Amino acid sequence: MCNTRLKVLLCLTVLAHLSLYLGNIVALGYLIFNQPWYFGVIACTFGFSPAMNGVFCAFTNLENYYRLKLKLPIIEDDALSFYLRKLFNRGNVIKIIN
């Protein structure tokens, strides 16, 4: 596979992964404000349990596969903190702490 195709696939995977994060945040807000508390607690526990136990989702594994092929650093923890560290280390986002 050529590098351009792998880069495009990696970008699509990253976009899908970040949209999954955004969808979960929106769904969590919906559960908190529009459902009884007992539905929200169960959903939050079910959703956050794999993340807190160090289980990678399928998107993280797929991203790591493409990253290995492109000789890029892999994601060793969760993807959201990986990308937030990248943004803050490069100075692309306004720094909160000076």
Domain chopping of the chain, boundaries: 3-90
Residue 78 phi/psi, 5-degree rounding, is -75, 155
Radius of gyration of the chain (CA): 16
pTM for this predicted structure? 0.68
pLDDT of residue 55: 65
pLDDT of residue 69: 92
* Local confidence pLDDT in tens for the 98 residues of the chain: 678 899 889 888 888 888 887 887 787 778 777 878 777 777 767 666 666 666 667 888 888 899 899 988 888 776 667 777 777 775 554 544 43
pLDDT of residue 52: 62
pLDDT of residue 31: 75
Residues contacting 13, CB < 8 A, separation 6+:
59, 62, 63, 66
